Amino acid sequence: MTPTLLPFMLFALVASISPGPTNLLILARGASLGLRATLAPVMAACTAAAAIVLVVGLGMGELLLRHPLARQLMTWGGVLWLTWLAWQLLRSPTGVDSRAGGRGFDALNAAALQMINPKVWLMAVAVIGVFATPSVAVWQLALLFLLIALPCMAAWALLGAGSARWLAPRRMRVFNQVLALALLVSAWAAVLL
């Protein structure tokens, strides 16, 4: 293992385990539908984030940095989408996934959320700028990021599934309201602060 990989692994751990919009939605899905139903969105979100690291390393990052309007459009698109998901979570007594047969935050939505999240793209730019070296290939960073992100996000799903035991319908509603508020704050803080 090259000396660069250990600091990268720590960075990937912190980036993946810290609370954020995707992790909050995974938590809510785990609480409302259980661990098994949450694994596909976990895999999709982690794979999408790793793919972003790969495409940024292959040159897409420079393109985004040269076009600030694209970044702004991604930011506002992400904020509006997260606001809509928070509204769905707020209105639902059992979670964003109880609507439309559990499709509220499915694998496609999880991957798409990563793809339009400017923080994920900026994280990928930082990863490539700091950790890509002649001895560490971009694909290695993307793969390692995936391998670290999967158990981190799965922990959020497990936390949600475990919390469902003590979340009676009334508590579930309050839980959803708190998560919806946290989701709104995390989305809007990115553009207002």
Q: Are 190 and 28 in contact (CB under 8 A)?
A: no
Mean pLDDT over 39-62 rounds to 93
Contacts of 30 (CB under 8 A, 6+ apart): 38, 156, 157, 158, 159, 160, 161, 163, 164
Q: What 3-state DSSP class applies to 91? A: helix
Q: Which of 49-58, 86-95, 100-109, 118-127 has the lowest mean pLDDT?
A: 100-109
Residue 41: its pLDDT value, please?
Answer: 97
- Between 37-51, 83-97, 118-132, 137-151, the lowest mean confidence (pLDDT) is in 83-97
Give yes or no for residue 81 having a pLDDT over 60: yes
42-55: average pLDDT: 97
Confidence of residue 62 (pLDDT cuts 50, 70, 90): confident
Nearest to 94 by CA among 105, 78, 80: 105
- What percent of the chain is predicted at pLDDT more than 90? 38
Mean pLDDT of 161-187: 82
User: Residue 139 pLDDT more than 90?
Assistant: yes
Higher pLDDT, 166 or 144: 144
Q: What's the rounded Cα separation, in Å, for the pair 58 and 118?
A: 17
Confidence of residue 76 (pLDDT cuts 50, 70, 90): confident
Confirm if 31 and 161 have CB atoms less than 8 A apart. yes
DSSP helix/strand/coil, 132: coil
pTM of the model: 0.81
Instruction: Tell me what pLDDT residue 130 has.
Output: 87
